[in-house]
């Protein structure tokens, strides 16, 4: 590899460069093989393992992989992938269960939520601009391939979109400390579930759009517990309860 090629790939660690080039890096043999079998467009595949070398897979040295890898411990295979152009249509969301993320900033949380959405059959995630970048290498790794099956949309004004969805008759669910016990509430398998920021929770603008306020109750209810749940863990509990119904 040339120095210019290495520098170009290393630059994709930066979100601005990823957005400009409309590319992201995926690492790991299993993930790269999944991507090659998907609808995603792959620009390059690099490997340090000669057994993978082929017409469309380039063999590089371990030293070169260490220089371009975005992981603490480099793997044997890396792909340069085009970001998909996911189109958001509120009309098409009306008959689906959708997750909306209001400022979820931790890459590990975002990656886990994408993986949970994939597990529970949620095909669309809507993110506010304050959310972590779904093509951050930590997010891509945490999804364990789910990013190939869940369409992720970033919007400039999440509360405006929720307002439009509510006006179309969609249920807007959100988890709040003053919400109603989720296990006693009537839940529909269509609607938008809002999950809030790790520290602040759901913003006031999005809170005003809710049609249903939910609470995951602690157990037992009258004993001291942790102040709150991790947002990814809470998302898993909520999606499980929606699908159980």
Tens digit of each residue's pLDDT (9 = 90 or more) over 106-149: 999 999 999 999 999 999 999 999 999 999 999 999 999 999 99
Predicted local confidence at residue 159, as pLDDT: 97
Q: What is residue 184's three-state secondary structure?
A: coil
Beta bridge pairs of residue 193? 99, 173
53 pLDDT above the threshold of 80: no
Enumerate domains of the chain plus CATH numbers: 3-82 (3.30.1330.30), 90-244 (3.40.1280.10)
Interacting residues of 23 by C-beta distance below 8 A, sequence separation 6+? 12, 43, 80, 81, 82, 83
pTM of the entire predicted model: 0.92
Predicted local confidence at residue 57, as pLDDT: 92
Longest dimension (CA), the chain: 64
> What residue has token string 């460069």?
17
Would you say 6 and 44 are in contact if contact means Cβ atoms under 8 Å apart?
Answer: no
Predicted local confidence at residue 40, as pLDDT: 96
Q: Residue 52 — very low, low, confident or very high, per pLDDT cuts 50/70/90?
A: confident
164 pLDDT above the threshold of 80: yes
Q: Is the peptide bond before 219 cis (omega within 30 degrees of 0)?
A: no
220 pLDDT above the threshold of 90: no
50 pLDDT above the threshold of 90: no
């Amino acid at each position: 590899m040339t120095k210019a090629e290495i520098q170009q790939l290393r630059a994709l660690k930066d979100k601005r460069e990823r957005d400009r080039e409309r590319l992201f890096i995926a690492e790991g043999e299993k993930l790269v093989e999944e991507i090659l079998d998907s609808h995603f467009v792959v620009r390059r595949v690099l490997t340090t393992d000669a057994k993978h070398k082929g017409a469309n897979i380039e063999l590089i040295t371990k030293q070169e992989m260490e220089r371009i890898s975005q992981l603490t411990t480099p793997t044997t295979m890396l792909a340069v992938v085009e970001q998909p152009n996911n189109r958001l249509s509120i009309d098409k969301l009306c008959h689906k269960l959708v997750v909306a993320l209001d400022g979820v900033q931790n890459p590990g949380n975002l990656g886990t939520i994408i993986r949970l959405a994939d597990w529970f059959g949620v095909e669309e995630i809507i993110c506010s601009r304050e959310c972590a970048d779904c093509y951050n290498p930590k997010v891509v790794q945490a999804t364990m391939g789910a990013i190939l099956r869940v369409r992720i949309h970033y919007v400039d004004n999440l509360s405006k979109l929720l307002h439009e969805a509510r006006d179309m008759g969609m249920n807007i669910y959100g988890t709040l400390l003053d919400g109603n016990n989720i296990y006693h509430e009537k839940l529909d398998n269509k609607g938008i579930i809002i999950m809030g920021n790790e520290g602040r929770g759901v913003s006031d603008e999005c809170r005003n759009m809710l049609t249903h306020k939910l609470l995951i109750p602690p157990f037992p209810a009258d004993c001291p517990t942790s102040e709150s749940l991790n947002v990814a863990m809470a998302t898993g509990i909520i999606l499980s309860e929606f699908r159980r119904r």
